[in-house]
Amino acid sequence: TQLLEQSPQFLSIQEGENLTVYCNSSSVFSSLQWYRQEPGEGPVLLVTVVTGGEVKKLKRLTFQFGDARKDSSLHITAAQPGDTGLYLCAGLTGNQFYFGTGTSLTVIP
């Protein structure tokens, strides 16, 4: 069971464009993480957000945790081909990290 729905599922954009990925749930999470996964590899952590309303920036990536700690967004500015990958959100509740359904991003040079 995946409690977190991500949208869009697939995204193909030109280099230099901006994009936003959404991660939504009806459940409250004590923290939320974003990972990026490349083919044949395991996911790699990008950021952890803990406080409702929290915003974190990582170079061209901006992450926001919803006020109610049920949702999150990832915004990428001026996307580059190196941003290509599967983006996953993961919410912590109890003993489990529940992963989202994933957003496959392709940035075309």
Partner 1 sequence: GAGVSQTPSNKVTEKGKYVELRCDPISGHTALYWYRQSLGQGPEFLIYFQGTGAADDSGLPNDRFFAVRPEGSVSTLKIQRTERGDSAVYLCASSTGLGGELFFGEGSRLTVL
Binding region for partner 1 (CB under 8 A) out of 12-20, 61-69, 72-80, 93-101: 93-101
- Interacting residue with partner 1 among 11, 88, 105, 107 (CB under 8 A): 88
| # binding residues, partner 1 (CB under 8 A) | 29
Cα separations in angstroms, 21 against 68, 72, 94, 95, 96: 18, 9, 25, 26, 22
What is the Cβ-side half-sphere exposure of residue 36, based on CA atoms within 13 angstroms? 13
- Give CA–CA dist 71/52, Å, rounded: 9
Does residue 41 interact with partner 1 by CB under 8 A? yes
- Give CA–CA dist 85/5, Å, rounded: 17
Does residue 28 interact with partner 1 by CB under 8 A? no
Q: Which residues bind partner 1 (CB under 8 A)?
A: 1-2, 4, 6, 30-31, 33, 35, 40-45, 48, 86, 88, 90, 92, 94-102, 104
